[in-house]
Chain A
Amino acid sequence: GENVEQHPSTLSVQEGDSAVIKCTYSDSASNYFPWYKQELGKRPQLIIDIRSNVGEKKDQRIAVTLNKTAKHFSLHITETQPEDSAVYFCAARQAGTALIFGKGTTLSVSS
């Protein structure tokens, strides 16, 4: 089955800096890669996703890149703000199956 590795587990940045979180996946058949932000006790909130036919996707301060050959994808947050502080999860999925999540990254943005 799919296995998703996520790094780093914690990340501290200053407000205005960029933050990068990286994930690798094991199953080359996976074709959908979302990123979620989760607040304590709440459901995961989708912030951006990418499909295997695309190499990069951007939405304002957030971008995701995908390297299918290397089987890794990354989340990039630019101009970080204190409200970006949260736990972020990457996930991967084969067609028709469940999302498999990485272990999460706790991002702290200090002002």
Chain B
Amino acid sequence: GAVVSQHPSWVICKSGTSVKIECRSLDFQATTMFWYRQFPKQSLMLMATSNEGSKATYEQGVEKDKFLINHASLTLSTLTVTSAHPEDSSFYICSARISGDGGYTFGSGTRLTVV
């Protein structure tokens, strides 16, 4: 149980274009979704916290106009990387809390390469 499905698993896009990453909770309602970015050989860095029906909260240094987060329903949260540049190339992964303090579940991640 408590599965988060993340798509796409990998994407290559041209500089200046936008890319949307989706995370769906399949068998539970995710009122809160956390978005992380992981550069090669580095840790998972929290980018933002999204709550269903409200604006996302961004961590310091993360551009909210560049990384658009939408959490319009209890089962879907999306991250759109706008006007992507090569330095945005990274592994993006979403995570949701499992109710009842059951820990966290993670999406399978999206490898973004901007060329």
Give me the interface of A with B, judged by CB distance under 8 Å: 32, 34, 41-44, 46, 49, 51, 89, 96-104
How many chain B residues touch A (CB < 8 A): the figure is 20
Stretch from B13-21, B42-50, B72-80 that touches the partner = B42-50
Partner of B49, one of A32, A89, A98, A103: A98
Bound-state CA distance A102–B42 (Å) is 10
Nearest 6 pairs between A and B by C-beta? A43-B106, A98-B34, A101-B44, A101-B43, A103-B43, A98-B46
Give me the interface of B with A, judged by CB distance under 8 Å: 32, 34, 42-46, 49, 91, 93, 95, 97, 101, 103-104, 106-109, 111
Bound-state CA distance A32–B103 (Å) is 8
Bound-state CA distance A41–B42 (Å) is 12
Is A43 in contact with B93, judged by CB distance below 8 angstroms? yes
- Residues of chain B lying within 8 A (CB to CB) of residue A43: 93, 106-109
Partner of B104, one of A34, A41, A89, A102: A34
Is B46 in contact with A100, judged by CB distance below 8 angstroms? yes
Bound-state CA distance A89–B45 (Å) is 12
* Majority DSSP secondary structure for residues of A touching B: loop
- A and B contact pairs by CB, cutoff 8 A, 14 listed: A32-B101, A41-B91, A41-B109, A44-B44, A46-B103, A46-B104, A96-B32, A96-B97, A98-B49, A99-B44, A101-B43, A101-B44, A101-B45, A104-B42
Known A34-B103, A98-B95, A99-B104: A41·B111 in contact at CB below 8 Å: yes
Can you name the residue of chain B whose Cβ is closest to the Cβ of A31? B101
